[in-house]
A = this chain, B = another copy of it.
């Protein structure tokens, strides 16, 4: 088993969907990634920052999942990063109602000593300079560095983003962001251009339409499970990334063949995440249910045509 270090936000979210709304609840990219990866009982740590207003019970929740939280800095007189958004009826688009950076504005990540030799590094969505700083602190080159990002950094810090993209092995990005980053509509062409930027593996997330994994001229596709109802999409992409990174950390095998399984696990875990508000579904997700849903993914995708 490999060690996994996760950098990303640990935050408050307030969410409105057609099904209801929440007060400030637990959120943040690193939270979703960590909870998802914890399904694999890996040795993981979160590097993040919160304010003095962040409840101890949320930190305890992460600790109980065997996530090392010594890298989560607590700024006593600061406030935790807060995001609020409202989803439209189709659940595929949303309006951001509030973004309060708070303690995140001056975040200086410090990787705990025990995790500076982690084999897998998962760089959750954050300023690319913060992501680079985590890579700088690793005492040996990770077996696999995975980067998630979003259009916000393409608009505001493109050069920094390119600098970190060229240092990672895998990038996870959604379809519209892949198009924005490359100026190409075809995802096949976009993936090739992103390869040329550095990452040997490119994962393009298409929400309800699944995810594509590109590696050189090979491509693998993981569908999203067709669901009766998406209750709250918040964190689905991070949960996908956490499942992907967690499975690779558990198996220690970063081959393309094994990454296929990793994206299937990512899709599987994301399909749970959207069933309830925020992290609720992921906080207590029995392994048995995950296995049942993996079987559903097999039934959904596996066929047996003899090529004669």
Contacts and interface: CB of A to CB of B under 8 A. Distances in A.
Nearest to A268: B305
Interface in A257-308: 260-261, 264-265, 291, 294-295, 298-305, 307
Please tell me how many copies of the chain the complex holds.
Answer: 2
B294 A188 contact: no
Interface stretch (A40-48, A104-112, A225-233): A225-233
Interface string A19-61: 0000000000000000000000000000000000000000000
A40 to B, nearest CB: 12
Interface in A145-190: 185-189
A226 B265 CA distance: 21
B226 A219 contact: yes
A143 interface: no
Nearest to A227: B188
A200 to B, nearest CB: 18
Contacts of A206: 209
Given A301-B301, A307-B294, A221 B223 contact: yes
Contacts of A187: 226
A228 B188 contact: yes
Nearest to A301: B301
Interface residues of A, number: 36
Given A209-B206, A295-B307, A305-B261, A300 B186 contact: no
Nearest to A185: B90
A93 interface: no
A26 B157 CA distance: 51
A188 B296 CA distance: 14
Contacts of A90: 185
Contacts of A4: none
Interface string A213-241: 00000111101001111000000000000
Interface of A: 89-90, 185-189, 206, 209-210, 212, 218-221, 223, 226-229, 260-261, 264-265, 291, 294-295, 298-305, 307
29 contacts: A90-B185, A186-B229, A187-B226, A188-B228, A189-B229, A206-B209, A209-B209, A209-B210, A210-B223, A218-B299, A219-B226, A220-B300, A220-B301, A220-B303, A221-B223, A221-B226, A221-B301, A223-B223, A260-B303, A261-B303, A261-B305, A264-B305, A265-B305, A291-B307, A295-B307, A298-B305, A298-B307, A301-B302, A301-B303
